[in-house]
Amino acid sequence: MSICRFLKWVVLLLVMFPSLFDPSLSHFDSAKKKQMREKVRKMFYHAYENYMTHAFPHDELKPLTRSFTDSLSELGNLKLEHLPQNYNGTALTLIESLSSLVILGNYTEFERAVLWLSENLSFDVDARVNLFEGNIRVLGGLVSAHILATDSKNRLVQGSYKNQLLDLAEDLGQRFLPAFDTPTGLPYAWINLKYGVMKNETTETSTSGCGSLILEMGALSRLTGDPKYESASLRALRKLWSMRSSLNLLGTTLDVETGEWIEHSSGIGAGVDSFYEYLFKAHILFGKEDFWRMFHSAYLAVQKYFRHGPWYHEADMRTGKATYWQLTSLQAFWPGLQVLVGDIEAANSSHREFVHVWKKFGVLPERYLLDHQMLHPTEKYYPLRPELAESTFYLYQATEDPWYIEVGEAIVDSLNLYTKVEGGFASIRDVTTMQTEDHQHSFFLAETCKYLYLLFDDSFLVDRNYIFTTEGHPLPVLSAWHERLPEIYIPSNWTYVKKEKPKRASAMSLQVCPALSLNSRHGEQLVESACHIPDARNDHKCFSDEECGVDSTNCRRRSCSLGGYCGLWLII
Ligand SMILES: *[C@@H]1O[C@H](CO)[C@@H](O)[C@H](O)[C@H]1NC(C)=O
Ligand SMILES: *[C@@H]1O[C@H](CO)[C@@H](O)[C@H](O)[C@H]1NC(C)=O
Ligand SMILES: *[C@@H]1O[C@H](CO)[C@@H](O)[C@H](O)[C@H]1NC(C)=O
Ligand SMILES: *[C@@H]1O[C@H](CO)[C@@H](O)[C@H](O)[C@H]1NC(C)=O
Ligand SMILES: *[C@@H]1O[C@H](CO)[C@@H](O)[C@H](O)[C@H]1NC(C)=O
Ligand SMILES: *[C@@H]1O[C@H](CO)[C@@H](O)[C@H](O)[C@H]1NC(C)=O
């Protein structure tokens, strides 16, 4: 978060000026924030208490029927076969709630949960779980809660905590390792907690499945002193990166045995999203320059091949050609990542488009067809996803623009209006009818409520330096976990940056996207930063090659395709 605070300084002293002149406004703002914070607190407890009453220790609450689902072992198992006998679940929603309880200041409930888990949770069950979900939800939830439990700033009863959560996390981490035993080092997508990889297990997995393990597994290694978790996930990440195309793009799905791509089209949404997020956050958490270099190239490629004005479409990794023109709800995390990176302007403009779609439908539909300006025929649901709240939180941290508070309020209001039921919060099956669905996902407690709460009250972050995993679990940025960082990447010398050029919001514009000068054929100086490829017209389509500028990685002129997209058109 220190990066966010840094941006507060750098970016928007300017934006904040109006409220400095009008003290009553900021008083109003703080009253509003307090009121909103209390609303979010109520939402969290409504979800939490209903889960504890009707579903715990099973995984998730079914709020309409007030029953439960053991979603962790049911996921990806459409026919619900081979489920564990007499299974009582993993208390998934409780684990996911731990860090939120601390952020809300409920230490007594946190401790009660820790005691229950340490006495009653076992991973020695014949259950096939998704490695990615198990990692971000369960392992991440446990590791983060362990760190919070040992942080003396939290007023926990000293002495009652004896690293039980870390023991559980280590046990789970061990159970993940057989998944990595492949010729490529890329992990299987599914693992049986008791027996390892099943016979005939599918070898297909996704880019995020292989590329979003490093934060949790790395933290587990740092905490236990055993490098095997970090090594396994790092090896997978490096292998994945080596499979990128010459355009520095990756596909969406791949085969872990052969290391070949299955789906070559990708974007920043489902199946890929947290891969990008983890490259950058791993750099913040572990400080390796390597992560930065990978992220740098990956970010450039995204901005170049997927971005279309404020929108992001999908493209074929081999050609860079646009494939699907779809907005997906998961993409809404991207502006939040861009804030961490420092690209506030781009974050702001994309975020506004997502807000626009949210307001149009009342919530964010899973998929929206940009080229037809209509909903996807089947993916019309909204499963209480956090991504828009998350980006709103980051943008407010960086800018303190009260507009983001209004956005947060709109999100809270529609969640209460459309998804709150007597037995908890229900997903939306169809945003055109607002018909509800009997499922309260654990990420509603781990992320949606947490980011909304932090938007209105960030006191948890005061004097602390945390990053959030893709599931919203905080991990501290510790110098002990860092190899020495080049000064320029982590702007710790804020006073220096502040004096430098306050208008230059983007850390990236200095480092990732160097403005490039070169002599063109006609002798004039061309300057381009790939983060900010000019948008030719309102519809962001180009009409001539001239509008497309120069590719900043190889200095070649980009051309305008028949469809109106700028790109380097390679023939394969
Ligand atoms: C689940 O809980 C029930 C009731 O407490 C118990 O009888 C059963 O053995 C538990 N199942 C497993 C697999 O532990
Ligand atoms: C903590 O959570 C428990 C369980 O939901 C609740 O009963 C209690 O009031 C909460 N305490 C505080 C201080 O919010
Ligand atoms: C563990 O579970 C059992 C059975 O539900 C319960 O009686 C016991 O109190 C639990 N342990 C803790 C610490 O809550
Ligand atoms: C694995 O797949 C083969 C071919 O589909 C099948 O004959 C075999 O029974 C399967 N084995 C298991 C353990 O499911
Ligand atoms: C975000 O965009 C709006 C509308 O274009 C603009 O008024 C505002 O100043 C922008 N804020 C930032 C932080 O760029
Ligand atoms: C920050 O950077 C400036 C310029 O390099 C330097 O003069 C100053 O001493 C630095 N401050 C700190 C606290 O490192």
Q: Is 422's C-beta closer than 6 angstroms to any atom of ligand 2?
A: no
Question: Ligand 5, closest atom to CA 348?
Answer: 1
Give the burial class of 241: count Cβ atoms within 10 A of its Cβ; 0-12 exposed, 13-18 middle, 19 or more buried: buried
The per-residue pLDDT for 543 is 65
Of the residues 59, 60, 263, 366, only one is catalytic, namely 366
The per-residue pLDDT for 341 is 81
Average pLDDT (175-186) is 95
pLDDT-derived band at 557 (thresholds 50, 70, 90) equals low
pLDDT at residue 209 greater than cutoff 80 = yes
pLDDT at residue 511 greater than cutoff 90 = no
pLDDT at residue 501 greater than cutoff 80 = no
Q: Where are the domains of the chain?
A: 32-501, 503-572
Of the residues 74, 109, 133, 409, only one is catalytic, namely 133
Closest ligand relative to 195 C-alpha:
4
Q: Is 399's C-beta closer than 6 angstroms to any atom of ligand 5?
A: yes
Length of the chain: 572
Residue owning the nearest CA to atom 10 of ligand 5: 348
pLDDT-derived band at 83 (thresholds 50, 70, 90) equals confident
Where b means 16+ CB within 10 Å and e means fewer, 248-270 reads bbbbbbbbbeebebebbbbbbbb
Q: How far is the CA of 26 from the centre of ligand 5 (A)?
A: 19
Question: Ligand 4, closest atom to CA 198?
Answer: 13
The per-residue pLDDT for 161 is 87
Sign of the alpha-carbon dihedral angle for 171, 174, 178, 184: positive
pLDDT-derived band at 541 (thresholds 50, 70, 90) equals low
Residue owning the nearest CA to atom 1 of ligand 1: 88
Q: Is 109's C-beta closer than 6 angstroms to any atom of ligand 2?
A: yes
The per-residue pLDDT for 29 is 81
Distance CA 3, CA 9 (A): 10
Q: How far is the CA of 448 from the centre of ligand 4 (A)?
A: 41
Q: What is the chain's alpha carbon radius of gyration, rounded to the nearest angstrom? A: 23
The per-residue pLDDT for 567 is 57
Average pLDDT (494-514) is 31
Sign of the alpha-carbon dihedral angle for 401, 402, 408, 414: negative
The per-residue pLDDT for 68 is 97
pLDDT at residue 484 greater than cutoff 60 = no
CATH of domain 32-501: 1.50.10.10
The per-residue pLDDT for 507 is 30
Distance from the Cα of residue 136 to its chain's centroid: 10
Q: Is 345's C-beta closer than 6 angstroms to any atom of ligand 5?
A: yes
Residues with CB under 6 A from ligand 6: 493, 496
pLDDT-derived band at 496 (thresholds 50, 70, 90) equals very low
Q: How far is the CA of 98 from the centre of ligand 2 (A)?
A: 13
pLDDT in tens, 154-173: 777 666 788 999 999 999 99
pLDDT at residue 506 greater than cutoff 50 = no
pLDDT-derived band at 249 (thresholds 50, 70, 90) equals very high
Q: Is 49 a catalytic residue?
A: no
pLDDT in tens, 106-131: 999 999 999 999 999 999 999 999 99
Q: How far is the CA of 161 from the centre of ligand 2 (A)?
A: 20
Residue owning the nearest CA to atom 4 of ligand 6: 496
Average pLDDT (288-311) is 88
Closest ligand relative to 342 C-alpha:
5
Q: Is 366 a catalytic residue?
A: yes
Of the residues 109, 387, 447, 528, only one is catalytic, namely 387
Q: Which range among 46-55, 323-332, 556-565 has the greatest average pLDDT? A: 46-55
pLDDT in tens, 350-375: 999 999 999 999 999 999 988 888 89
pLDDT in tens, 323-332: 988 999 999 9
Q: Which tokens sit at 166?
A: 């870390």
Q: How far is the CA of 60 from the centre of ligand 2 (A)?
A: 20
Compute the CA torsion angle 230, 181, 244, 279 (nearest 10 deg).
-20
Which among 58, 73, 86, 122 is the best mutation to test ligand 1's pocket, defined by most ligand atoms within 8 Å of the CB?
Answer: 86
Of the residues 59, 96, 263, 273, only one is catalytic, namely 273
Q: How far is the CA of 348 from the centre of ligand 5 (A)?
A: 6
Phi, psi of 206 (to 5 degrees): -115, 165
pLDDT at residue 455 greater than cutoff 50 = yes
Which helix H or strand E contains 261, and what residues bound it?
strand 261-263
**Nearest Cα residue to 329 out of 357, 352, 303:** 357
Average pLDDT (283-293) is 85
Q: How far is the CA of 201 from the centre of ligand 4 (A)?
A: 10
Closest ligand relative to 90 C-alpha:
1
Residues with CB under 6 A from ligand 1: 86-88
Residues with CB under 6 A from ligand 3: 115-116, 119-120
The per-residue pLDDT for 559 is 64
pLDDT at residue 556 greater than cutoff 80 = no
Where b means 16+ CB within 10 Å and e means fewer, 78-95 reads eeeeeebeeebbbbbbbb
Q: pTM of this prediction? A: 0.82
Question: Ligand 1, closest atom to CA 125?
Answer: 13
* Coil, strand or helix at 61: strand
Distance CA 11, CA 344 (A): 8
Residue owning the nearest CA to atom 10 of ligand 4: 200
**Percent helix, percent strand, percent coil in the chain, to nearest 5:** 50, 15, 40
Higher pLDDT, 30 or 133: 133
Closest ligand relative to 109 C-alpha:
2
Q: How far is the CA of 295 from the centre of ligand 6 (A)?
A: 27
Average pLDDT (427-446) is 97
Q: Is 199's C-beta closer than 6 angstroms to any atom of ligand 4?
A: yes
Distance from the Cα of residue 45 to its chain's centroid: 24
Of 39-43, 64-68, 564-568, the one with minimum mean pLDDT is 564-568
Residue owning the nearest CA to atom 4 of ligand 5: 349
Q: How far is the CA of 101 from the centre of ligand 2 (A)?
A: 9
Q: Is 326's C-beta closer than 6 angstroms to any atom of ligand 2?
A: no
Q: How far is the CA of 200 from the centre of ligand 4 (A)?
A: 6
Closest ligand relative to 94 C-alpha:
2
Higher pLDDT, 342 or 393: 393
